[in-house]
Amino acid sequence: MSRIGFYSGSFDPVTLGHTDIIARAERLVDRLVIGIGVHPSKVPLFSDDERVEMLEAETRAVAAAAGIEIDVVTFSDLAVMAAHRFGASVIFRGLRDGTDFDYEMQMANMNGQMAPSVQTVFVAASPEVRHIAANLVRQIALMGGDVTPFVSKGVALRLATKVKGKSKG
């Protein structure tokens, strides 16, 4: 029986913090499903397809090195329901600080009541990426700042292209 994990977020954009959690979570499962949350009330910088492409590009090497399958999907319902639908027995949640812990603990307890067969595993972010937040990376990019300490070269290039396109439109 293979162990399937689920890691969800908006990934707008994919940061080094996200890839840190992915690289550490993949060690614990045979297959990792990365779920991109799609919410009608949120207007992301990158489209759903662009976020899928980014995540696939960013995780290709990690999956190959670990010898596991990583699938990138979108979902628009509760993360715990999506995890259950994709056959995951564990949800991975990254923690940067105590504020994250308080929020994530509440969510884990509620998810546990809705889907008792799906466990939540907290993964502490590595110290060198603990401060990175996608919303701040977006803001830095949109205001012309240097995002290279926070994202891969590929994502930095996508951000530069996206910001350049927004300033023309």
> What letter does residue 38 receive in the DSSP assignment?
-
> What letter does residue 126 receive in the DSSP assignment?
P
Token pair recorded at residue 76: 């628009």
Is the pLDDT reported for residue 132 higher than 90? yes
The radius of gyration computed from the CA coordinates of the chain, to the nearest angstrom, equals 16
The Cα–Cα gap between 58 and 155 comes to: 8
CB-based contacts of 65, cutoff 8 Å, min separation 6: none
Sign of CA dihedral 105, 122, 19, 137: positive
Give the rounded percent of residues in the chain with a pLDDT score beyond 70: 98
Token pair recorded at residue 117: 């067969």
CATH for the stretch 4-130: 3.40.50.620
DSSP bridge partners of 121 = 92
pLDDT band at residue 61 using 50, 70 and 90 as cut-offs: confident
pLDDT band at residue 106 using 50, 70 and 90 as cut-offs: very high
Cα 72 to chain centroid distance, Å, stands at 10
Q: Write down the pTM of the prediction.
A: 0.93
